[in-house]
Amino acid sequence: MSKVFVCGDTHHDIDTEKLEECVLPAGQKLTRDDYLIILGDFGLIWYEKGTYDEKDITKWYNRQPWTTLFIDGNHENFDRLFSDEFKEIEMFGNKVKQISDSIFYLQRGRVYTIQGKTFFTFGGGESIDRNARTPHISWWPQEIPNFYEIDNGIEHLNQHNRKVDFILTHTCSNEMFALISRKFKFTYKENCEKALRDFFSWVEENISFGQWHFGHFHEDIKFDSKHFLHYNKPPLRIV
């Protein structure tokens, strides 16, 4: 049976060590029918089109035996990712964007069926250091989803009778954020992410789901049997 793994942010090539053979020994036994899902801040699409390092990292992923899937975080070049540069194709019962032969973007507000399990994916999040970044060079305003994208997500959830096996996001609900804030004693200064977390709180209350996996906060925590925060630990098999 094919396998599905999830892992936290990889940030271009900064945090990819957790994917190396030394921490993913099963990698050599995987095939293209096995899937590694990165929970936002994939960051492969970051610089202008065609840079050497992007090509080099893409080749590295293409050499791996698995298929790489990702949702967006806040550290992505959305001008490119949301453009027509990457072809939209049908996959897993919905539309994805194909980045390379073995890399695919799972879009916001979609429900995908992978290995017989349903996955609701919804990327996006706030860059708390954006005031030190350059718009459309190292920061993109599209990092915060708009109300159209949220409505589209609700529509797709309604089409699946408000029930999915997995929810994959970059940030989290207000409830999870409160737990993280208390544990690590931090708050966001500007809180542009609040509307997105409000939506995820609605999801918590109105959607039946098995597990919720997210990244963004650079910690690894299993809150309970349903909520998981990922960052440095090796990929976790969920299917």
Write down all domains in the chain, each with its CATH number in brackets: 4-237 (3.60.21)
Say what the pLDDT of residue 184 is: 80
- pLDDT tens sequence across 167-184: 999 999 999 999 998 888
Q: Residue 68 CA to chain centroid, in angstroms?
A: 11
* Host H or E run for residue 68: strand 67-71
pTM: 0.95
Region for 136 from its dihedrals, namely left if φ exceeds 0, alpha if ψ lies in -120 to 50, beta otherwise: left
The shares of helix, strand and coil residues in the chain, as percent rounded to the nearest 5, are 30, 25, 45
- pLDDT tens sequence across 37-53: 999 999 999 998 878 89
The 10 Å Cβ neighbour count of residue 107 is 21
pLDDT in tens, the chain (239 residues): 789 999 999 999 999 999 876 667 666 689 999 999 999 999 999 998 878 899 999 999 999 999 999 999 999 999 999 999 999 999 999 999 999 999 999 999 999 999 999 999 999 999 988 889 999 999 999 999 999 999 999 999 999 999 999 999 999 999 999 999 888 876 666 578 999 999 999 999 999 999 999 999 999 999 999 999 999 999 999 99
Say what the pLDDT of residue 22 is: 61
For the chain, percent of residues with pLDDT exceeding 70: 95
